[in-house]
Amino acid sequence: MLKIKQWGVGGALFLGCVLGAFAQAFPQKPVRVVIGFPPGGGIDMVARLMAPKLSESLGQSVLVDNRPGANGVLAMDHVAKSAPDGHTLFLGTLGNLSINPSFYANLPFNVDKQFVPVTEVASLSFVLFANPAVPANTLSELVSYAKANPGVLNYSSSGAGGLPHLAGELFSSAVGSKMVHVAYKGSAPSISDVMGGQVQMTFEAAAAGAQQLKAGRLKALGVTGNKRVAFLPDVPAVQEVVPGFEVLNWYGLVAPAGTPKETIRKLQQEIAKVMALPEIRDKMLAMGTDPVGSTPEEFGQYIKSETLKWGRIIRDGNIRPD
């Protein structure tokens, strides 16, 4: 009997070692980073910049999987229902992770319960891009034109309820002039129609309109953070003309709830290393985006604080899906 008990303890220890080694073997297959927007937007550019280096670091392919629709809800639902093994992740925006829970009454998932934070990847100011034909070449001129012509200006966004939409609503309110919102399914089609003149302006990541700006197909009138950015040193912060206006976006990685803590920690550490690489950092800063790489605990607290902040804004403004 004694031998059996000793063998049982030894067997349990052996099994625990085997399971521990198995858990530490992550990743065992390609890792998919799912995005809720089509290719060409700012978050897509950051993901595709990060993916090759992360592939090298993890020793497995890291694939960017674009699943646009419903302001990221479809992509998040897919990831929420995926195996919690670290091989399917969601790279989301502030809009996806902290605004959607207040904006949509019946999400098919609970962000707080069905996802766990991995890391904040990047933060960035938006740029107020306008079609070159808009009769304003400075932010002050745009504000004056908007006040003199209420309801005439329209602006596009990457989806109803996303941060570009709310940035436009906040700008409209701060200026004191109604502007018309036009929602698209992603940043790329939104920017495209600003260039084409179907809509007049948009708030978007600098990277989404950088090439078009250089080519003269867009003009930049302001940035939404609390200071000017190195990418556009001559473009004022909106709050220089509209006091108190500030909108700062961020991109962050989450995993399905139940993903092993060891896997979460490894992902965070490897991503932080990638974000710190000079070649990655320089490219991101040139895109108007600051690399981050925070811990899961720091990112989790940030998501909660941002959810409270934007939830109040949505409720106070009675902002609802179109």
Whether residue 11 has pLDDT greater than 80:
no
Strand-pairing partners, residue 290, are: 123
Separation of alpha carbons 229 and 73, rounded Å: 31
> Are 167 and 247 in contact, with CB atoms under 8 Å apart?
yes
Percent of the chain exceeding pLDDT 90 equals 74
> Are 217 and 195 in contact, with CB atoms under 8 Å apart?
yes
pLDDT band at 2 (very low <50, low <70, confident <90, very high): very low
pLDDT tens-place string over residues 180-208: 999 998 888 999 999 999 999 999 988 88
The whole-chain average pLDDT of the chain stands at 90
The mean per-residue pLDDT over the stretch 74-93 comes to: 98
Whether residue 271 has pLDDT greater than 90:
yes
Task: Check residue 8 and give its pLDDT.
Answer: 53
CA 244 from centroid of its chain's CA atoms: 23
Task: Check residue 137 and give its pLDDT.
Answer: 96
Backbone angles phi, psi at 201, to 5 degrees: -160, 170
Separation of alpha carbons 40 and 188, rounded Å: 5
The mean per-residue pLDDT over the stretch 128-140 comes to: 97
SS3 125: strand
pLDDT band at 27 (very low <50, low <70, confident <90, very high): very high
Task: Check residue 22 and give its pLDDT.
Answer: 45
Strand-pairing partners, residue 156, are: 182, 202
Q: Which has the higher per-residue pLDDT, 15 or 154?
A: 154
The mean per-residue pLDDT over the stretch 45-62 comes to: 97
**What is the CB neighbour count within 10 angstroms for residue 4?**
8
Whether residue 102 has pLDDT greater than 70:
yes
Where are any strands of DSSP class E within 15-77? 31-35, 62-66
> Are 97 and 273 in contact, with CB atoms under 8 Å apart?
no
Whether residue 89 has pLDDT greater than 90:
yes
Task: Check residue 216 and give its pLDDT.
Answer: 96
> Are 181 and 157 in contact, with CB atoms under 8 Å apart?
yes
Task: Check residue 6 and give its pLDDT.
Answer: 45
Task: Check residue 231 and give its pLDDT.
Answer: 81
Task: Check residue 29 and give its pLDDT.
Answer: 97
Task: Check residue 7 and give its pLDDT.
Answer: 43
* Nearest residue to 200 via CA among 145, 248, 134, 108: 134
pTM assigned to the model? 0.80
Angle between helices 42-58 and 206-214 (to 10 degrees): 110
- What domains sit in the chain, N to C, each tagged with a CATH number? 31-123+248-317 (3.40.190.150), 125-240 (3.40.190.10)
Task: Check residue 76 and give its pLDDT.
Answer: 98
Dihedral, 231, 51, 71, 228 alpha carbons, nearest 10:
-10
Q: Taking the alpha carbons of 8, 12, 13, 15 in that order, is the dihedral positive or negative?
A: positive
Whether residue 120 has pLDDT greater than 50:
yes
pLDDT tens-place string over residues 217-255: 999 999 999 888 888 999 999 999 999 999 999 999 999
Burial label for 74, CB within 10 Å (0-12, 13-18, 19+), is middle
**What is the CB neighbour count within 10 angstroms for residue 126?**
25
Dihedral, 270, 276, 278, 283 alpha carbons, nearest 10:
90
